[in-house]
Structure 1
Amino acid sequence: MKNLLKLLFLTLFVTLYSCNKDDGPSIIPTTLFTQDRQFIEADEQITFTNNSTDAVSYTWDFGDTKTSNEENPVHTYTTTGDFVVTLTATSETGDQSTSTRSVTVGERWVVALGVESIPFEDQNGDPWDADNSGPDLLFGFTQADAETFSPYNITDGLDVQASDLPFGGTLPPANQEILTDEDWAFIFIDNDEPLDDLNQSTVMASFLINPVTVASEKDYSDGTGTFVFESLGFSFIIAFEIRN
């Protein structure tokens, strides 16, 4: 009889313990994460730092068909686009919560030009204009193998003097282009009279630059960047934005 009572007591204890465990409070995780870059170019890496609490496992969806179960993953995007990154955190009770952030993977769009210096004489030592009034600058850029391009006047028809330097500004929307991973020609022209006839103008200098692989300063938080080029007395800054 005593053995039977012990068995019944043990069975009741196990049953109560199991019920209390199953009916215990849920643990809802807090899901948070940060990323070291907001705007990147294709084939660049982005590092995610997991700041979640009360979680035992994680699932990352990077928005490009790729996923990960690492706690702090590093991911490479190979195509351009706007991607939503989702982190799902799971607690020991199986409860889940999610958090999302965005990543923009774009290309370099040239948006502005700054001219730091130009020579006021050609390679023969002669002034660009016979009256020594200074060049009326046109500036343009195009793929190196392109047959034509459309320069624009960066001085509003005025001759440039040394006292005018440095100067610059935003490019007209029609001149804002995607800078591809190849050689581009960046061209300075002295626009002589008549101003609407480029045959009467003089190419001051043309520089071949790969605007993607050239050493650049980039701000990965807002997608802006610049690169500087100096040669033959010319010094200029190209500003770009990383966007789709």
Structure 2
Amino acid sequence: MKIPFRKSSLYFQFLVLLLVLTGCSKDNVAPKAGIMADKYQAEPGEIITFTSTSSNLRDYAWELDNGVKSDEKVVKTSFDTPGNHVVKLKVTDRSGKTNETSINVYVGRFYLTTVGLTAMNFRNPDGNTWDADGSGPDLSFGLNTPGTTNYGWLVGDNITQKDIPKRLISGSPILLINNNYTFTIYETPEQGKTGTSRTIKSWQFNPVKEAQKTKYSNNNGIIVLPGQYPGIYFEYTVQ
């Protein structure tokens, strides 16, 4: 079926107008500035990578409060002073429109402040109670540092479900080194009795790296050790 010339002409005029309007609407949209960091908490002097998440841009203008400025899409830098630091980005698209955004990162040393027990399996892999008399296991929690210092806390004697969650205050904050640690929860002999401590579960990982995976922009946070039983978490602060 042939379209009459007049109707065909009007049809193509409509298409041209639609394309023009569509192009204009795109030109009227300002760019959207965005920043992604590979870590939001870092130690002094540690390299942080900032990447613009915007696309189809003409210019990038970074301004960091450590004095660094850049016109690249990706910026790598570090901060020497502990505390909160501001990272600003202004972007310009090909039509000259601009948009700005900023994020915060926190810099300092990582310290362990609190350990907590949130869940416990009261039977061993053989299906028997951890303690011989069934009164509830006597639990201790240990932290083995990469150096020579080891820390241990008594979770409690004859622990039952009603004692959980159990919060342990470690006392003075413990400096966390950017390295692997071994975390172990033990079933210890009854008070006044001899015997051998048994390992209920042991974990090994780097708590500083785990903390940096989380998008915190302040100076504290919580890390949950992997595994359902026992459930262990610790709180940390960055100072």
- The residue matched to 1:213 in structure 2 has which SS? helix
Q: May I ask how many residue pairs the two structures share in their alignment?
A: 179
Q: Which of 166, 169, 180 is the equivalent residue of 1:168?
A: 166
- The residue matched to 1:151 in structure 2 has which SS? strand
Is residue 155 of structure 2 the alignment partner of residue 154 of structure 1? yes
Q: TM-score, normalised on structure 1?
A: 0.55
Distance, in Å, in 1 between the alignment partners of 2:112 and 2:47 is 20
The residue identity in structure 2 corresponding to 1:171 is I
Q: TM-score, normalised on structure 2?
A: 0.56
Match of 2:210 in 1: 214
- The residue matched to 2:110 in structure 1 has which SS? strand
The residue identity in structure 2 corresponding to 1:120 is F
C-alpha offsets along residues 194-239 of structure 1, whole Å, 9 cap, x if unaligned? 46x9964322221112212337674644311122223372222222
CA apart distance, 1:36: 10
Seq. identity, %: 21
- The residue matched to 1:150 in structure 2 has which SS? strand
Match of 1:203 in 2: 199
Q: Which of 126, 129, 146 is the equivalent residue of 1:127?
A: 129
Q: How does 1:180-199 map to 2 (within 5 A)?
A: 180-194=177-191
Match of 1:90 in 2: none
Q: How does 1:1-244 map to 2 (within 5 A)?
A: 40-41=41-42, 42-44=46-48, 62-63=65-66, 66-68=67-69, 76-79=77-80, 81-82=82-83, 104-143=106-145, 149-155=150-156, 158-165=157-164, 167-174=165-172, 176-194=173-191, 200-214=196-210, 218=214, 220-231=216-227, 233-243=229-239
CA apart distance, 1:114: 2.5
Distance, in Å, in 2 between the alignment partners of 1:137 and 1:80 is 40
Q: Which runs of 5+ in 1 are unaligned?
A: 1-34, 48-57, 88-101
Q: From the superposition, tell whether residues 80 and 110 of structure 1 become closer, same or farther in structure 2 (CA, over 3 Å).
A: farther
The residue identity in structure 1 corresponding to 2:47 is D
Distance, in Å, in 2 between the alignment partners of 1:132 and 1:112 is 29
Contact map agreement 1:217 1:225 (CA 8 A) in 2: no
- The residue matched to 2:162 in structure 1 has which SS? helix
Distance, in Å, in 1 between the alignment partners of 2:125 and 2:76 is 50
CA apart distance, 1:140: 1.7
Contact map agreement 2:84 2:218 (CA 8 A) in 1: no
Distance, in Å, in 2 between the alignment partners of 1:80 and 1:200 is 47
